[in-house]
């Protein structure tokens, strides 16, 4: 049967007369059929990648690419007066993640399948995801993200496990998502849920009764944990996730007839950050039930588990009070106690290694480091900081466990799908090999002085900027000019990522323009990102940006040189539109704080030039492209760490010493902005910047402004700029998640 016959059959009518929604459902069914023609990947050893988040993005376009039928489908729809882009727009974006960590898990699944590795993902099926961000009165509001629908990509299974919390036992249900690799490979993402969830529990915004576990367990990802019930709920979620994972693993091992004592030969578990850490005691508990001794079980589990650290931010390192764990998972407490006892005996001279600290808190990362055989950071600089600063006592005892795996991204989504024009140009120049081995992109260097190639690259960028401008006009109602330099700063809102520094620079530009000093070329600054609902400062930064957007875009003079856009509800779908349109990639975190970043890699791959600090994977980008093809600024991670250690940073000194910094910070509470915004929010933000500024915005602000000015000036020199673009694309092959996953398998999993 041809594609056309199959679709027509599913539609019960011809393609030309079908609606986009009907076509979406028909294509979904077609993709399921094609996927099931591919056998599931098998092997002697299987990986379970456990993660609280999988930010997988819309599935249709990616699946068509990976099945190798994108072009065929696209042409058939066009022939019938339909647009695949419009049909794909019918799909709701799965809301199963928060930011980089969840997106990494999604890129990894794509690469695991593509490399035909035997590995599945395990996570939770959140009904309302993180939350949907809405702007009203220049402020963020949170509402449920109602992404689940009848025709979504998940398949209900009849796999169910009992999960016990103290005196109550609930019955889980597994939902599966097919993960189809590029041209080959087929694995699964297993998402667990309860049949008893009551969506009507959610009343105002995203608040709900946090005590009724059977009804609320999987309503939201990262429910508000500012009170005790919220923290308990997170522990309930985490245990539910890992208990299901552990039971699934044991069930599959038994079905295969494998000896559970040899589990380390047949199973690898990757613990993505600390959320799945309870898998360690849970698996030990289940092995003990199978008749294995505690000691042996602990040894087996250590051989199976590997832990990835994603952050050094203290507030993100989970530690749960024993009393909370006692309430949720009393049956794990003897095991956690036993594991801690083993540590205390072995390392009695160093209390910093204890899993349970003197205040009775259980440190999840410490549990992971003692009882995993591998601990990895996510970029070279990050791993170095872990070894020599944050996790030094662990590195001293377990040097052999520590390793680096610099993050990566899947080029299927972040180039082929979102920028087919650039992907096509690359293939025309160097053939298709790069799709199978991203290092081949290096061959583009051959063209770095080829005027025709550079002009073509420039035309593609221009086209993507025009597309993004249309999208922004339609979705956000803001007019932007593709002639201007697009500086794009999209990522979660967090003080360490320093969106506030970019906002202060916008104020600086605004005042310059008001004084008749115009930038070398008009600038458009595009922001996007959600703030955690309880993170007041991050919400204040959003507020400042939205107020600046209002002030600047409506100023008849300034708006000719400067525009500001804050995208509402930044997600994968919006990322796919704006990243290919970027001229300048803003990666301006305080050095040492961004573990890796993956946004930086997506921009580089799409020919943007990085304006960044020497942080996370920016350092590796700089080493790959050379200092002449990146704009770096700011204090180094060593200097920053030293400032923290010596309490040597005082924002107010920078404020007092520099007239220019002072006028920018003062402007936050100017009459102009207070007319638009909320007095107390603006004042609190200003106070924080002057008197606290934990992430040292004022330390790097002037250097940032001057280097950004240089970048905008250089942009005028099109020959120079387009060559920089080409070098960035050519050297981005290292950041393919296929490379990252090959290294995980080589050094940690050994699946082959
Ligand atoms: C890649 C990505 C991120 C991570 O961006 P960073 O700049 O690395 O923080 C967050 N959100 C979305 C939607 C992404 O696609």
Angstrom distances, CA of residue 702 to CA of 242, 498, 697: 47, 14, 10
**Helix segments in 80-176, DSSP class H:** 84-88, 100-114
Angstrom distances, CA of residue 671 to CA of 404, 517, 675, 705: 50, 22, 6, 24
Identify the CA nearest to 585 among candidates 542, 621, 531.
621
pLDDT score, position 52: 98
363, 500: one domain = no
Ligand 1 atom at shortest distance from the alpha carbon of 579: 15
351, 479: one domain = no
Number of residues that this document lists for the chain: 752
Q: With left for phi above 0 and alpha for psi between -120 and 50, is residue 540 left, alpha or beta? A: alpha
725, 744: one domain = no
- How many other C-beta atoms can be found within 10 angstroms of the C-beta atom of residue 486? 25
Tokens 């590795």 belong to residue: 117
Name the stretches of the chain with pLDDT < 50.
Answer: none
DSSP 356: B
pLDDT score, position 198: 96
In a domain, 69, yes or no: no
Dist. CA 425–CA 364, nearest whole Å: 47
Please give the order of strands across the beta sheet that includes 562-567. 562-567, 523-528, 485-490, 584-587, 609-612, 631-632
593 included as an active-site residue: no
Angle of CA points 432, 437, 441, to nearest 5°:
70
pLDDT score, position 151: 78
623, 716: one domain = yes
Q: 741 near 117, Cβ under 8 Å?
A: yes
Please enumerate in sequence order all residues whose Cβ is within 8 A of that of 649, keeping only pairs 6 or more positions apart, or say none: 643, 693, 696, 699
pLDDT score, position 314: 81
160, 269: one domain = yes
598 included as an active-site residue: yes
Residues forming beta bridges with residue 156, ordered by sequence position? 175
Kindly state the tokens that stand for 433: 């090999």
Dist. CA 559–CA 552, nearest whole Å: 6
Tokens 């402020």 belong to residue: 139
Crossing angle of helices 697-715 and 659-667, rounded to 10° = 100
Angle of CA points 491, 275, 277, to nearest 5°:
145
In a domain, 145, yes or no: yes
45 included as an active-site residue: no
Report the SS3 class of residue 628. helix
Q: 145 near 193, Cβ under 8 Å?
A: no
Q: What burial class does residue 650 get, using C-beta atoms within 10 Å of its C-beta: 0-12 exposed, 13-18 middle, 19+ buried?
A: middle
Indicate which residue of 187, 308, 598, 697 is catalytic. 598
Residue to mutate (ligand 1; options 575, 604, 616; most atoms within 8 A of CB): 575
For residue 175, the surrounding DSSP H or E stretch is strand 168-180
349, 467: one domain = no
Ligand 1 atom at shortest distance from the alpha carbon of 587: 7
pLDDT score, position 153: 86
Q: With left for phi above 0 and alpha for psi between -120 and 50, is residue 192 left, alpha or beta? A: beta
Indicate which residue of 190, 494, 497, 708 is catalytic. 497
- How many other C-beta atoms can be found within 10 angstroms of the C-beta atom of residue 492? 20
Q: Look up the domain containing 559 and give its range.
A: 411-733
437, 358: one domain = no
339, 222: one domain = yes
Does the C-beta of 100 come closer than 6 Å to ligand 1?
yes
In a domain, 110, yes or no: yes
Q: With left for phi above 0 and alpha for psi between -120 and 50, is residue 371 left, alpha or beta? A: alpha
Shortest-distance Cα residue to atom 9 of ligand 1: 491
CATH code of the domain covering residue 435:
3.40.50.2000
DSSP 746: I
556, 690: one domain = yes
Does the C-beta of 45 come closer than 6 Å to ligand 1?
no
Angstrom distances, CA of residue 417 to CA of 9, 413, 459: 27, 5, 18
In a domain, 22, yes or no: no
In a domain, 254, yes or no: yes
Residue to mutate (ligand 1; options 56, 95, 103; most atoms within 8 A of CB): 103
Q: 201 near 180, Cβ under 8 Å?
A: no
pLDDT score, position 317: 87
Angle of CA points 158, 159, 160, to nearest 5°:
110
348, 417: one domain = no
Identify the CA nearest to 733 among candidates 529, 502, 434.
434
pLDDT score, position 226: 86
Q: Could you give the number of structural domains in the chain?
A: 2
**Helix segments in 57-172, DSSP class H:** 60-66, 70-79, 84-88, 100-114
Ligand 1 atom at shortest distance from the alpha carbon of 529: 11
pLDDT tens digit sequence for 618-666: 999 999 999 999 999 999 999 999 999 999 999 999 999 999 999 999 9
344, 437: one domain = no
In a domain, 23, yes or no: no
Identify the CA nearest to 60 among candidates 149, 152, 126, 124.
152
In a domain, 19, yes or no: no
Q: What burial class does residue 172 get, using C-beta atoms within 10 Å of its C-beta: 0-12 exposed, 13-18 middle, 19+ buried?
A: buried
206, 350: one domain = yes
pLDDT score, position 752: 87
In a domain, 552, yes or no: yes
């Amino acid at each position: 049967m041809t594609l056309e016959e199959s679709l027509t059959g599913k539609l019960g009518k011809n393609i030309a007369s079908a609606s986009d929604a009907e076509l979406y459902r028909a294509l979904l069914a077609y993709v399921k059929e094609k996927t099931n023609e591919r056998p599931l990947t098998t092997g002697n050893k299987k990986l379970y990648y456990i993660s609280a988040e999988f930010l997988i993005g819309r599935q249709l376009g990616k699946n068509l690419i990976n099945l190798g039928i994108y072009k065929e489908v696209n042409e058939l729809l066009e022939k019938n007066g339909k647009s695949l882009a419009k049909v794909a727009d019918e799909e709701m974006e799965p809301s199963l993640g928060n930011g980089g960590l969840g997106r990494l898990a999604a890129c990894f699944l794509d690469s695991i399948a593509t490399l035909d590795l035997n590995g599945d993902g395990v996570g939770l099926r959140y009904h309302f995801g993180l939350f949907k961000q809405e702007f009203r009165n220049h402020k963020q509001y949170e509402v449920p993200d109602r992404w689940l629908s009848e025709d979504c990509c998940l398949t209900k299974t009849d796999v169910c496990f009992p999960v016990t919390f103290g005196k109550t036992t609930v019955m889980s249900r597994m939902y599966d998502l097919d993960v189809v690799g590029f041209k080959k490979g087929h694995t699964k993402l297993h998402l667990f849920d309860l049949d008893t969830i009551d969506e009507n529990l959610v009343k105002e915004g995203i608040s709900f009764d946090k005590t009724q576990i059977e009804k609320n367990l999987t309503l939201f990802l990262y429910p508000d944990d500012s009170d005790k019930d919220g923290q308990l709920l997170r522990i309930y979620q985490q245990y539910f996730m890992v208990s299901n994972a552990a039971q699934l693993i044991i069930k599959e091992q038994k079905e295969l007839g494998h000896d559970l004592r040899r589990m380390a030969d047949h199973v690898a578990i990757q613990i993505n950050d600390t959320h799945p850490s309870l898998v360690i005691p849970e698996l030990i508990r289940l092995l003990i039930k199978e008749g294995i001794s505690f000691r042996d079980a602990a040894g087996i589990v250590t051989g199976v588990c590997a832990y990835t650290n994603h952050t050094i931010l203290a507030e993100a390192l989970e530690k749960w009070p024993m009393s909370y764990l006692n309430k949720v998972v009393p049956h794990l407490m003897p095991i956690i106690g036993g594991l801690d006892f083993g540590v205390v005996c072995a390392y009695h001279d160093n209390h910093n290694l204890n899993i349970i600290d003197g205040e009775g808190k259980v440190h999840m990362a410490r549990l992971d480091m003692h009882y995993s055989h591998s601990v990895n950071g996510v970029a070279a600089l990050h791993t170095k900081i872990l070894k020599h600063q944050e996790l030094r006592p662990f590195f001293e005892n377990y040097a052999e466990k520590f390793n680096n795996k610099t993050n990566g991204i899947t080029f299927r989504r972040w180039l082929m799908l979102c920028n087919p024009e650039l992907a096509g140009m690359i293939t025309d120049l160097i053939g298709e090999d790069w799709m199978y081995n991203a290092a081949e992109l290096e061959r583009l260097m051959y063209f770095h002085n080829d005027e025709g190639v550079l002009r073509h690259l420039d035309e593609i960028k221009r086209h993507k900027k025009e597309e993004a401008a249309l999208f922004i006009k339609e979705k956000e109602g803001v007019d932007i000019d593709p002639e201007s330099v697009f500086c794009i700063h999209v990522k979660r809102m967090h003080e360490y990522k320093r969106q506030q520094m970019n906002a202060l620079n916008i104020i600086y530009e605004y005042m310059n323009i008001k004084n008749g000093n115009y930038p070398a070329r008009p600038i458009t600054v595009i922001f996007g990102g959600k703030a955690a609902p309880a993170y007041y400062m991050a919400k204040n930064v959003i507020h400042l940006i939205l107020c600046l957007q209002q002030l600047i875009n409506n100023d008849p003079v300034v708006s000719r040189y400067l525009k500001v856009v804050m995208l509402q509800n930044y997600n994968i779908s919006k990322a796919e539109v704006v990243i290919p349109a970027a001229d300048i990639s803003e990666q301006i975190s305080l050095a040492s704080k961004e573990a890796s970043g993956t946004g930086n890699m997506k921009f580089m791959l799409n020919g943007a030039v990085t304006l960044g600090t020497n942080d996370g994977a920016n350092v590796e980008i700089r080493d790959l492209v050379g200092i002449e093809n990146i704009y770096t600024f700011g204090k180094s991670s060593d200097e920053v760490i030293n400032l923290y250690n010596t309490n040597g940073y005082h924002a107010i000194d920078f404020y007092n010493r520099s007239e220019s910094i002072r006028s920018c910070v003062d402007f936050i509470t100017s009459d102009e902005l207070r007319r638009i915004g909320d007095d107390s929010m603006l004042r609190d933000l200003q106070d924080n910047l002057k008197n606290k500024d934990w992430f040292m915005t004022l330390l790097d602000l002037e250097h940032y402004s001057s280097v950004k000015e240089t970048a905008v000036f250089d942009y005028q020199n099109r020959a120079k700029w387009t060559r920089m673009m080409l070098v960035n694309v050519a050297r981005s092959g290292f950041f393919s998640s296929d490379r990252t996953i090959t290294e995980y398998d080589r050094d940690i999993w050994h699946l082959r």
